[in-house]
Amino acid sequence: MTGGAGFVGSHLCEALLDRGDKVVIVDSFEDFYAASIKRANIASALQRGARLVELDIREGRLLARVLAAESPDVVVHLAARAGVRPSLENPQLYVSINVEGTLSLLEACRQAGAGRLVFGSSSSVYGTNSRVPFQEDDPVQTPASPYGATKAAGELLCHTYAHLHGLQVACLRFFTVYGPRQRPDMAIHKFARLLAERRPVPLFGEGTARDYTYVSDIVQGVLGAIDRPRPFAVYNLGDSKVVELGRMVALLAEALGVEAEVERLPRQPGDVPTTFADISRARRDLDYSPGVPFERGIRLFADWFLSSRGAAHVPG
- pLDDT tens digits for range 188-229: 999 999 999 999 998 887 768 999 999 999 999 999 999 999
> Would you say residue 284 lies in a domain?
yes
> Would you say residue 31 lies in a domain?
yes
246-283 burial string, b = 16+ CB within 10 Å, else e?
bebbebbbebbebebebeeeeeeebebebbbbbbebbb
> Would you say residue 2 lies in a domain?
no
Active site residue 214: no
**What pLDDT, on a 0 to 100 scale, did the predictor assign at position 316?**
37
CATH code at position 206: 3.40.50.720
> Would you say residue 164 lies in a domain?
yes
Q: Which of 126, 147, 161, 212 is catalytic?
A: 147
> Would you say residue 269 lies in a domain?
yes
pLDDT tens-place string over residues 44-68:
999 999 999 999 999 999 999 999 9
14-46 burial string, b = 16+ CB within 10 Å, else e?
bbbbeeeeebbbbbbbbebbeeebbeebbeebe
Domain housing 124: 7-313
> Would you say residue 1 lies in a domain?
no
Q: What is the pTM of this model?
A: 0.94
> Would you say residue 256 lies in a domain?
yes
**What pLDDT, on a 0 to 100 scale, did the predictor assign at position 129?**
84
**What pLDDT, on a 0 to 100 scale, did the predictor assign at position 124?**
95
**What pLDDT, on a 0 to 100 scale, did the predictor assign at position 211?**
97
Number of domains comprising the chain: 1
288-304 burial string, b = 16+ CB within 10 Å, else e?
bebebebeebbebbbeb
**What pLDDT, on a 0 to 100 scale, did the predictor assign at position 312?**
39
Count of CA atoms in the C-beta half-sphere (13 A) of 142 = 10
> Would you say residue 193 lies in a domain?
yes
Strand pairing partners for 117?
75, 169
**What pLDDT, on a 0 to 100 scale, did the predictor assign at position 128?**
85
Question: Is-cis flag, bond preceding 202, omega within 30?
Answer: no
| Averaged pLDDT in 10-residue chunks for the chain of 316 residues | 97 98 97 94 97 97 96 97 93 98 98 96 92 94 94 98 98 98 95 95 82 98 97 98 94 96 80 91 98 98 91 40
**What pLDDT, on a 0 to 100 scale, did the predictor assign at position 207?**
66
Residue pair 67/120 in contact by the 8 Å Cβ criterion: no
